[in-house]
Structure 1
Amino acid sequence: MKRGTLPLTALRALEATMRLGQMRRAADELGVTYSAVSRQVRGLEEMLGVPLFEGPRNRLVPSAAALALQPALTEAFDGIEAAVARVQRRDRRVLDVSCLGTLAMRWLIPRMALFQAAHPGIELRLTTDDGPVDFAQRRIDVAIRVGSGPWGSAQATELFPDNVGPVLSPALMPEDQLTPQSLLGMTALKTRTRPSAWADWTSSQGLAAPIQTLEFEHFYFMLEAVIAGLGVAIAPDILIRDDLAAGRLVAPFGFLPSGMSYVALRPAGRNADAETFVDWLIEAN
């Protein structure tokens, strides 16, 4: 059967019935009546010359022919749906961005107005996540993550290095000289998302691990605790840059590379708006 003669309405009715398991549910999804779906399927059977369902109406069982058609039909209609969605999004110029939660709250969101002012035609739709990125399953144009890779088949652009160091409230600074050793007398704030942060830093200084610690479930909570003066934490400079500039925190010993980097991940294929956003991320650092 040539493409121009394919009964697309009937094939769509068959695919929906197979996928949903009932003609009535297929009719609801397609916005037609049950009898309309039934007529389309019967007409398709007559055209193909084979039965597509067996059994009573309330217990339809797909035939071998229907089972053979289903994978190709579902893949074809999924592809059409995805292509139409991409065109709609391109017309609206909506960019779906997935970002680490703390980075979004403490760095990206405070700067989003600058991006919108520079690129008023692009609307950012932001979600937060720190897990692996599956571009095939989720509608994401750019994902911002931190790590050392590899990043699989994604297009990866390094944004900035992950530099970390101890930070604390100015209220906790001693009157005499602060040394790395004297930090160990303070409460060391930790987070489950970076459990080895203190061990890595004290090892780089030739020191033992801190004794008194306080752990938080989320990185954002830990940073708020640092600002409140509950102790000292090992933090990436990108996350507390605004706090340093405002004098809410101090970093007495600077920052060292952790071996990781913040990266922008994109699916294969060219997306001009995604490229524009990634270029802006690099410049905004």
Structure 2
Amino acid sequence: MKSAAPPPLNALRAFEAFARHGGMTAAAAELCVTHGAVSRQVAALQDHLGVALVVGPRHRLTLTPAGAELAQRLTGAFATIAEAVETARRDERREIEISCLGTFALKWLIPRLPGFMALHPEIRVKVSESYASIDFTRSPIDGAIRIFNPGQTAKRSEATPFLPQYQGPVGAPSVTPPGLSIEAMGRLPRLHASTFRESWAVWSELVGVRLPAAQSREFQHNNSMIEAAAAGMGVAIVPWAFVAPDIQAGRLVAPFGFAERPSKFVFLRPEGRPDASVDAFRDWLVAEGSVSPPPIPSTGPGD
């Protein structure tokens, strides 16, 4: 009496391929095995089942009625398996890479990412730091966060503003005590980052003040500049989004608040490239931007 255990999967696959192609040679090519290997698997399957599946001369085998019925069912079964595997691959966790301004990622984005992960556990977010302009035709990234001025665009990309841009001077409590005048602040060392050297000129024009010449200290990135300000090395003009946690913690103070600029934080994504995961991230950014704490109001002479 033959065993009731299922026949070997390799034997079933070899027989199904033989039946579908009508020959051992074509089946062997599909399975990347030899002609003899397919022949042995078909013979082993017949022995296991105790049923004749093929008849005729070795080089002109044909299916018996039992063989034809088994082959038809196997073809459907293997198609179902292939579909299930493909579905599993589509449903696996998706990773998207977002290029972001380094200090914004550290101070604003990353502290909020656990909220996105809770809403979308199926999406992984890889954050890469960059200040460079975006060209999605040459970069594999899925999206980017940048600061855009009115009318600014990026080639072949869709831009979604999600957070207003506010800037103001900040310093350590020991350097910018309560009651500090703009004139007194103007005599302090001015810190700026090489990524935005014009920060003091832009803020002065925005609030309507004229500051005298003063000592200047430059740092490569905003984060280094912010740490220098917290260490008492001078005063820096910084976006509210970059320093809100430090001000709330008391490491920095903003003696004249933050003035709104026409520029905004925007999310860029490739134009005409459908991606539900990127859409979900964009929509989450817009929602987070709408509930982000407002800055300390500006108290400069122009307000």
TM-score, normalization: structure 2? 0.61
The change in CA–CA distance for 1:181 and 1:89 in structure 2 (over 3 A counts) is: farther
* 8 A contact 1:162–1:259 mirrored in 2: yes
Deviations 1:244-263 (A, max 9, x none): 11111111211112331111
Deviations 1:139-188 (A, max 9, x none): 1211111122122320110011221011111122336x212222112111
The change in CA–CA distance for 1:88 and 1:105 in structure 2 (over 3 A counts) is: farther
How much does 1:103 deviate?
Answer: 1.1
Say whether residues 1:280 and 2:281 are aligned partners.
no
The change in CA–CA distance for 1:138 and 1:207 in structure 2 (over 3 A counts) is: same
Aligned-partner Cα distance in 2 for 1:206–1:256: 13
Aligned-partner Cα distance in 2 for 1:216–1:237: 18
Match of 1:184 in 2: 186
Match of 1:256 in 2: 259
Letter in 1 for 2:157: A
How much does 1:126 deviate?
Answer: 1.6
Deviations 1:110-151 (A, max 9, x none): 222222122211111121111121212221211111122122
Please, what is the CA RMSD of the aligned residues? 2.0
Find the structure with the greater CA-based Rg. 2
TM-score, normalization: structure 1? 0.65
Moved over 6 A (4+): 87-90
* 8 A contact 2:229–2:235 mirrored in 1: yes
Higher helix share: 1
Say whether residues 1:117 and 2:118 are aligned partners.
yes
How much does 1:88 deviate?
Answer: 6.4
Match of 2:230 in 1: 227
Aligned-partner Cα distance in 2 for 1:90–1:138: 25
Letter in 1 for 2:208: Q
* Secondary structure of the structure 2 residue equivalent to 1:261: strand
Query: Percent of pairs identical after alignment?
Result: 37
Flag structure 2 segments of 5+ consecutive residues without an equivalent. Answer: 1-87, 290-303
Match of 1:152 in 2: 155
Match of 1:172 in 2: 175
The change in CA–CA distance for 1:90 and 1:269 in structure 2 (over 3 A counts) is: farther
Q: Aligned pairs, how many?
A: 198
* 8 A contact 1:192–1:215 mirrored in 2: yes
Aligned-partner Cα distance in 1 for 2:227–2:89: 40
* 8 A contact 1:159–1:261 mirrored in 2: yes
* 8 A contact 2:147–2:266 mirrored in 1: yes
